[in-house]
Amino acid sequence: MTGPADASREQHYLPAMGKHWLLPLYDPFARLAGVGRVHKQLLDLADLRPGQRILEIGCGTGNLLRALGRRRLDVDALGIDPDPAVLRRARRKAARAKLPIRYQRAFAGALPLPDDSFDRVLSAFMLHHLDEDDRTRALREVGRVLRPGGELHVVDIDGTPSGRGAGRAHRDPRLAGSLPERVLAALTDAGLTGVTESGRGRSRLGGVVFYRAAAGGAG
């Protein structure tokens, strides 16, 4: 793949918490849901090393990259998100913590970034917000910007139907798209290699699944 995807078409995004006016509740909600523990597990699985270039797609208010910064690894970290409001919060939080994290407005399906430019791409609770076409574009862009030997590490909700929620899961296309077998197939269809489920965990909102994939031609 060569060059960033065409960003000329009009694009829409789902704001944090679903509504712009609910943004002040985003961080308290994440703390209450135990997202910090999930972020720690994702960073452990990503096997991050000094000198790497790290990209987070759908960074929200920057909590995952702040957790990375607190590990004091000598890495170059960039977060992208389409929502200017969450990026303003992310930048303020990084500045207060004196962390050299960069943030840029962009859509995951049209990254304004060079080919083969990142060692790791991270994604936390973002893929289930995308419809099938947008998810395909985003994952292909991930493959484009990953260096040979680079890896994508994802955590997302587990859409497996269970108990009383089974009927809703079948009706909700976002939950259906988060079935582990569907996510694994989407990663493979995007041309990524070494696709695997790398772990499971829980937040207060339910089960989560971790996935790993490598740049095409690596594994």
Residue type, 68: L
Q: What confidence category does residue 1 fall into, taking pLDDT thresholds of 50, 70 and 90?
A: very low
For the residues of 34-99, what is the DSSP string, one character each? THHHHHHHHHHHHT--TT-EEEEES-TTSHHHHHHHHTT---EEEEEES-HHHHHHHHHHHHHTT-
- Tens-place pLDDT, residues 108-137: 999 999 999 999 999 999 999 899 999 999
Looking at residue 29, what is its pLDDT?
83
Place of tokens 């083969």: 116
* CATH code for residues 19-214: 3.40.50.150
Contact (CB, 8 A) for 68 and 47: no
Looking at residue 10, what is its pLDDT?
46
Looking at residue 73, what is its pLDDT?
80
Average pLDDT, the chain: 88
Is pLDDT above 70 for 16?
no
Q: Is 68 left (phi over 0), alpha (psi -120 to 50) or beta?
A: alpha
Looking at residue 166, what is its pLDDT?
46
pTM recorded for the entire structure: 0.87
- Tens-place pLDDT, residues 53-86: 999 999 999 999 999 999 988 999 999 999 999 9
Looking at residue 176, what is its pLDDT?
75
- Tens-place pLDDT, residues 164-204: 444 454 456 667 778 999 999 999 999 999 999 999 998 88
